Amino acid sequence: MLGEGKSTTATNLALTLAETGFTVCLVEGDLRRPRVMDYMGLEGAAGLTEVLVGRAEVEDVMQPYVTNMRVIGCGQIPPNPSELLGSNAMSQLMERLANEFDYVIIDGPPMMAVTDSAILSTIADGTIVVVGVGIVRRDELQRTLNDLDRVGGNVVGLVANRLPVKGPDAYRQAYEEYRETVEAHAPQRRSRSARSRRRRARNVADST
């Protein structure tokens, strides 16, 4: 859902990796309601959309942010986001970036709203699900995990965002709720063949 902090989580993860010495490319993969470029104060007139439709080269739209970190914004919002994200051009671009950077972080749109992030999970080595505590119900989280599992997405972790800070054991209560949901989901996970390890990792930050 909207407002769970997926874009800020993706951005902070990219910044943290860059600060520890890894080379990182942050890709604004939400082609419907992009937020990353606004958060970072970068130019967003041209970006991923233009690269995927052949109107620009990736070098022309990739912007430096801090040492070791580059950012590719959404660019113009296209009429067919799901089609572009599932295209051969997207797969080829991610393969190229994975060979050039230690980590590629893709900020995808909310899973509960559209299928775009499920599509992105199929071309990523791992998917991180951002969960807004108090925003997402447990059955919605379970449905999201099931949807990702169905398409072969490899969920490598959950980020519990907006944890309550007041009341006795507020953090513990929220953590236990989502731990139980993940553990209930774990036996349903199918075994997967090992993915190519020519690069360190590609991660998608999703939101339910």
List the chain domain ranges: 6-207
User: Do 28 and 37 contact (CB within 8 A), yes or no?
Assistant: yes
Q: Which two tokens stand for residue 38?
A: 């606004």
pTM of the model: 0.79
pLDDT at position 178 is 45
Strands of the sheet containing 103-110, edge to edge, are 62-64, 69-72, 24-28, 103-110, 201-207, 126-132, 155-161
In angstroms, the CA 90 to CA 112 distance is 22
pLDDT at position 189 is 44
pLDDT at position 137 is 84
| Single-letter amino acid, residue 133 | V
pLDDT at position 184 is 52
pLDDT at position 162 is 66
Q: Which two tokens stand for residue 126?
A: 């791992």
- CATH code: domain 6-207 is 3.40.50.300
The DSSP 8-state label assigned to residue 194 in this structure reads P
In angstroms, the CA 180 to CA 21 distance is 35
Q: Which two tokens stand for residue 68?
A: 């070791």
Q: pLDDT 10s digit of each residue in the chain, 208 long?
A: 455 688 989 999 999 999 999 999 999 999 999 999 998 999 999 999 999 999 999 999 999 999 999 999 999 999 999 999 999 999 999 999 999 999 999 999 988 778 999 999 999 999 999 987 777 788 888 999 999 999 999 999 988 876 665 555 454 554 455 455 445 545 444 444 444 434 444 555 555 5
Contacts of 56 (CB under 8 A, 6+ apart): 46, 50, 75
| Helices (runs of H) and strands (runs of E) counted in the chain | 9, 7
| Single-letter amino acid, residue 46 | A
How many Cβ atoms from other residues are within 10 Å of residue 65's Cβ?
17
User: Do 203 and 105 contact (CB within 8 A), yes or no?
Assistant: yes
